[in-house]
Each structure stands twice: as structure tokens, then as C-alpha cells.
Amino acid sequence: MAELLRASRLTLAYDGAEVVRDLELAVPRGRITAVVGANGSGKSTLLRALARLLRPRAGAVLLDGEALDRLATKEVAKRLGILPQSPIAPDGIVVEDLVARGRYPHQRLFRQWSARDEAAIEGALAATATADLRDRALDELSGGQRQRSWIAMTLAQETEVLLLDEPTTFLDLAHQVEVLDLLAELVEGHGRTVVMVLHDLNQACRYADHLVALRAGQVHAAGAPAEIIDAELVEEVFGIAARVIDDPVTGTPLCLPLGGRHRPAVETSRPLAGATR
Amino acid sequence: MSAGRVIAIRTGALSARVDLRVVAALAGLVAATVAAFLASVALGEFPVSLADVVAALAGAGDEATSFIVFDLRLPRALTAVLAGVALGIAGTVFQDLARNPLVAPDVIGITGGASLAAVGLIVFSGSNGALSVPLAALLGALITGAVLYGLAWRGGVHGYRLVLVGIGVAAMLEAGVSYVLTRGQIYEVAQAFVWLVGSLNGRGWEHVWPLAVTLVALLPLTLLLTRRLAALQLGDELARALGVRAEAARLGLFTIATGLSAVAVSAAGPIAFVAFIAPHIARRLCGSTSPFGVLPVAAASGALLVLVADLGGRLLFSPTEIPVGIVTAILAAPYFLYLLRRANRIGAT
């Protein structure tokens, strides 16, 4: 698995408070990487640094072997797109206008609407099934439609790497699955590389090829979900006792937190029907 | 709101996207502005027929008509148009930078800085020079802009902080203006009040040129930064993700908007509400918030607004003249209240 993005001895801090220290990370090309961890473990901070929105205190982020802060701002924007957790849009902006703004790094003062711009926007609208919404105002849409529109904007940027900070927050279950399926399709069908921060460990296990578990600003474990997720890791990373069984639908690890009120009646209770582990 | 039909224009390496609704709005506003401009030059205490106006403009009129057209009415109408254009653009840029539709150079203290400098000069030196007062106003506005940016800076200037700091600065400057007015002699204070209202009375070519030169210099820069303004509307993080150096772009845009408000106030005094309301009119007409459409339409709306307000102020109670700043306030205040009411309703639900 060739790596596309790498963090090397990365130390990140806000106003003196170190959030990430000496972190090593490799993001495989053409795969979905999910970053998981407890609140405050440095997930979003790491993602911002990968998108060069946060300058490392020490260490570097390498894109295809080149240090991000050595590359021109616009050059990075052509190769690497990020969708923050709660992006803001001007009142009343329509979907097509929003998506078109993703073309910024490819445009010039006198070349603002090339045939390629138009094709990229149409492609992004089609991939996210937002073509029918193109004339609708963003603030009139449902949460799922709005998130798809934002993803379409990031897609129109036509970057090899897509970084997404909790793309499923605020969405109901159906819309969460819809967005994650879309990302999986982008990776499989279009060869993009996706890195996303996810809150839900089980969704991360289902959709990610490569899982990175952060703990206190360090990579605690990284690898295929089935290889690294077990009860011990969940306890160490999230600080909660859990049972890990096989997801009866996908076969990926499924984490069932125990908590104080839900101790299993029998220590070795039967696994769910059909699951073996 | 919805944008109009969009067509693509492509010739060789050049390409642009044109919203037909924006084109229509712009065409309508320009036509109305031309009509109001001709009316401004033709109408007044000594009406001049359109044919005579054209003759005078072509240099073929008699001496008296030429004097009225060339020396009295033409520079006044041009000052109105140029100040309106400058205010329309400045208001749009400030509202976008602050992410707040209630912001205008009057609200964040830029106009207050111009007022304090101008009023101070009029009251304390007794000077009411056609050059010294505009110059003082210009410097006052520019210095206030620089101070404002410096005070709002904390590792970057963010919209919310800009508004808060601006309101504070504006309050201090207004207190300063009031203080100066209480210290002055009645004659100078009366002069200062005339300036404070915003008036185009007696504007000559010496007022037109600084405005025209500044606009010629700053409009291409505005055009250059419009794409960045569109990206900044999505917030700093996304703007940077799209390859915009957000802080540099914001400083550039802030400087342009400050410069435009400064020359407008310098030439015409603090004309109320135009910078605030022109962007609102433009967003309505364009049906979008995209600065590619809103900026030119706001510029045209500003020009039409100042021109019509000045013409109305001159003609309505002729021979008594109502200063343009009072007319714009009367025209715009109801709209402002409507916006507040709507905002309250949205806030309540």
C-alpha cells in the first residue's frame, strides 16, 4: 500500500498547549482512512494539520514526499481538499454557486469558467445526487442534502485527497449511511483518497480500510479495523469497557460498550446469531 | 432567492460565467442612473433643456448655460455618482468581511473618524476650505481604518471582533464630535453641522477628481480580489483550503473598502445609509450573495440612490435645499426597520 500523505514527527499546539506530540502517520493512497479517538485526543487538530490549516510546531506533513509548507498555497489546494466540521455559507447561497466556489484553485482572473470547470461541477453534482437541488438555497435543504452539497463543493475542487471532519455529525442514520456510501464510492470508483475523522467507531470499522486510533495526541494503533480493534484497544483508547463482536452484516468489528449499568449477566454470554469471533 | 439563468462566455483562454439576472439588474440601474444624471444636470432653479445640456456638453452652448451645466451641475452630479459607487462597493465589502448585514462604514467608525477630523478643523481653525476639509476627512477616515484593523487584530482579524471593536471606536469618535461641537463658536458649529449631515451643495471639480482617481485605482484591485471575497464568504478555513491566503486577502479588501469610504465621505460628507443599504438592494436584485454580481449592482444602486436623493433634495422644496444625507436617511430608514423586524421574526421562531 503506497502512502500518499505522511505525518512525520508531527507536534501540534494551540497557544502553547501541545495537542499532538511526535506523531507518525501514513495515509494509504486510494483508500479510506478513518481517525478515531476520544474527545480531545487530537483528531480534528491532526486533520487540520494534514490540510495545512494548522502549521506544525515541529515535524512535517508530506504529500507524496514533499513537505506541505514548501508547496505553494494554490498548488496544495489543487491536490488536497478539506471539509471542516461545521462550514459556514453566506445566507441564501444556492447549491450550484456553492459547488462552483470549489473551483477557485483552478481558476484565474480571466479564466473563470472554463469547460473543465463546468465539467467538474456537473460531475460533482452528479456524484452527490445534488443536480436536482442546484437552484435551491442551501439553508432550505435537509441536513443530508446540505452535507452532500458541501461534499460536492469539495469534489469540484478535484483533489486526490479529501479530508473530512466528522462528515456524519448532525445527520440522522439514513443520511449518515448515505454520506459514507458516497465516500466509499468515490474511493472505489474514482480512485480518491479519503481521510475522515469519525465519532462512531462502528461506522469507522465498517467503512475504513485503514483505521487510526488516537490517544492523547499519539497514534495508539493503526491498521485494518479487524486487525487492531479488540476490547483491550477500546478500553485504552476510549476509556470504557466493551465487548467486541463481529458485525453480523459486514463481518467487521462491532463494539458494544458495557458501562456501569450494562454488565453482561454471564461473563461469556453467547455471541449474536451468525457471528463468530 | 434564486440566481437567474447562467450563460458561459468563452473566447480563447478567456472564460467567464454571466448571470443574466445580474446583467438585467445592472442594465436597468445604469439606464435609470443615466436618466437621473441628465435630470440632475437639466433641472434646478434655472431649468436647461436637454438639447441645451447636450449642446453645452459638446462645447456649443451659450456662456450662461455652459456655466450652469459645466461648473455647477455636472461636477455635483458626478460627485453624487462617484460617491455612490464608492459607498456601494465599500458597504458590500465591509458587510462580507464582517459577516454581518448591518455593518457599514458609519457603524464601524470609519465615517466617525472622517467627521471628527473635518469638524475639528472647521470648529477650531475656522477653516472651511474646499481642499482642507475634504483632506482632513480623508485622513481621519484612513487613520481610523488603520487603528480599527490594529485593534481588531489578534493573530488575524475576524468578523465578529471587527464589528465589536468598530462599534466601540464609532462611539468614541461620536463622543469626540459632540465634544468639539460644544467647544465651538456658533458660526463654525453651524458650518460643521452642514458638513455632518452630508451635502453635495457647491461641489465642484476639485471634489470630482480625487474621487475619480481613487476609483480608477481601486476598482481594478476590487475586481482582482472579488474571487477571494467569494472564497472568504465560506469562512477562513475553507478559503484557505481553496488556496486563498485569507489574512492577506482580508487586509487588501479592508484597505480598499476603507479607502473608498474615505474618499466618498471626504467629497460628500457622511451620507447616511447608502453604504449600508446599497448591498441589500443588490442582493435582492441579483437573487444571490455572490460578490461577482452583488459588487457591480451595489455600485450602481449606490450611484442611483445618491443621485436621486440629491435631485429630490434640490427640487422638492425648491428653492430650499434639503441635504442629500437627510434624504437618504428618510429613504433608507424604513428599509432598515423592515430588516430589523424580519431579523427579529427569524430570531423568534
Q: What would the DSSP string read from start to end of B306-339?
A: HHHHHHHHHHTTTTSPPPHHHHHHHHHHHHHHHH
Q: What is the model's pLDDT at position B82?
A: 97
DSSP A137: B
Q: Which helix (H) or strand (E) holds A115?
A: helix A115-127
Q: What is the model's pLDDT at position B178?
A: 94
CB neighbours of B127 closer than 8 A, spacing ≥ 6?
Answer: B121, B133
Cite the DSSP H helix spans in chain B. 20-42, 50-57, 63-66, 74-98, 110-125, 132-152, 159-183, 186-197, 205-232, 236-241, 246-268, 274-286, 291-315, 324-348
Retrieve residue B205's grid coordinates: 471639480
Name the residue among B101, B227, B288 with its Cβ closest to that of A107. B227
Query: Does residue A277 surpass a pLDDT of 50?
Result: no
Retrieve residue A60's grid coordinates: 512535517
Q: Is B19 exposed, middle or buried (0-12, 13-18, 19+ CB in 10 A)?
A: buried
Retrieve residue A213's grid coordinates: 486510533
> Do B16 and A113 make contact, defined as CB atoms within 8 angstroms?
yes
Which residues are registered as beta bridge partners of A37?
A214
Retrieve residue B178's grid coordinates: 459632540
Q: What is the model's pLDDT at position A17?
A: 87
Q: What is the model's pLDDT at position B6?
A: 78
For A30-77, how does the pLDDT look when each residue is reduced to its tens digit (9 = 90+)?
999 999 999 989 999 999 999 999 999 999 999 998 999 899 888 999
Q: What is the model's pLDDT at position A266?
A: 53
CB neighbours of B186 closer than 8 A, spacing ≥ 6?
Answer: none
Q: How far apart are CA B217 and CA B225, in angstroms?
A: 13
Q: How far apart are CA A213 and CA A209, in angstroms?
A: 13
Disruptive mutation site among B19, B242, B285, B288 for chain A (greatest number of A CBs within 10 Å): B242
**What angle separates helix A143-156 from helix A173-190, to the nearest 10 degrees?**
20
Lowest mean pLDDT among A54-68, A191-205, A207-221, B125-139: B125-139
Residue A214's pLDDT band (boundaries 50, 70, 90)? very high
Task: Give the amino acid at B267.
Answer: A
| Degrees to nearest 5, angle at CA B263 with B258 and B264 | 95
Q: Give B-chain residues touching A74 at CB under 8 angstroms.
A: 243
DSSP B55: H
User: How many helices and strands in chain A, by DSSP H and E?
Assistant: 9, 12
Q: Which B residues in the span 285-304 are in contact with A, Cβ-Cβ below 8 Å? A: 288-290
> Do A97 and B288 make contact, defined as CB atoms within 8 angstroms?
yes
Q: Is A169 exposed, middle or buried (0-12, 13-18, 19+ CB in 10 A)?
A: middle
Burial B25-52 (b: 16+ CB within 10 A, else e): bbeebeebbeebbebbbbebeeebeeeb
CB neighbours of A223 closer than 8 A, spacing ≥ 6?
Answer: A210, A211
Which residues are registered as beta bridge partners of B320?
none
Cβ atoms of A11 and A23 within 8 Å: the answer is yes
Q: Give A-chain residues touching B234 at CB under 8 angstroms.
A: 87-90, 98, 101
Q: Which helix (H) or strand (E) holds A163?
A: strand A161-165
> Do A90 and B233 make contact, defined as CB atoms within 8 angstroms?
yes
| Cα–Cα nearest to B266, from B306, B194, B210 | B210
| Cα–Cα nearest to A146, from A165, A164, A171 | A171
Q: Give B-chain residues touching A44 at CB under 8 angstroms.
A: none
Can you state the percent helix, strand and coil of chain A, rounding each to 5? 35, 30, 35
pTM > 0.80: yes or no: yes
Q: What is the model's pLDDT at position B346?
A: 54
Minimum Cα–Cα distance from B1: chain A residue: A92
Q: Which helix (H) or strand (E) holds A98?
A: helix A95-101
> Do A109 and B17 make contact, defined as CB atoms within 8 angstroms?
no
Q: How far apart are CA A271 and CA B110, in angstroms?
A: 70
DSSP B67: I
Q: Give A-chain residues touching B286 at CB under 8 angstroms.
A: none
pLDDT tens, N- to C-terminus, chain B (349 residues): 455 677 888 877 778 888 899 999 999 999 999 999 999 999 988 889 988 888 888 888 888 888 998 889 999 999 999 999 999 999 999 999 999 888 999 999 999 999 999 999 999 887 777 788 889 999 999 999 999 999 988 877 788 899 999 999 999 999 999 999 999 888 889 889 888 988 898 888 988 998 999 999 999 999 999 999 999 999 989 999 999 999 999 999 999 999 999 999 999 999 988 999 999 999 999 988 899 999 999 999 999 999 999 999 999 887 888 999 999 999 888 887 887 777 666 544 3
CB neighbours of A41 closer than 8 A, spacing ≥ 6?
Answer: A214, A215, A216, A217, A237
Residue A276's pLDDT band (boundaries 50, 70, 90)? very low
**Percentage of chain A lying above the pLDDT 70 cut:** 94
Report residue A13: phi and psi, to 5°: -145, 150
Retrieve residue B7's grid coordinates: 450563460
Could you tell me whether strands A193-197 and A32-37 are parallel, antiparallel, or unpaired per DSSP bridges?
parallel
* Sole residue written with cell 487492531: A228
Q: Is B222 on the interface with A (CB under 8 A)?
A: no
Q: What is the model's pLDDT at position A270?
A: 44
Start-to-end CA distance of chain A, whole Å, equals 27
Name the residue among B15, B289, B290 with its Cβ closest to that of A111. B15
Q: What is the model's pLDDT at position B76?
A: 95
Rounded to whole angstroms, what are the CA distances from B59 to B36, B55, B75, B208, B262?
A: 22, 6, 16, 20, 33
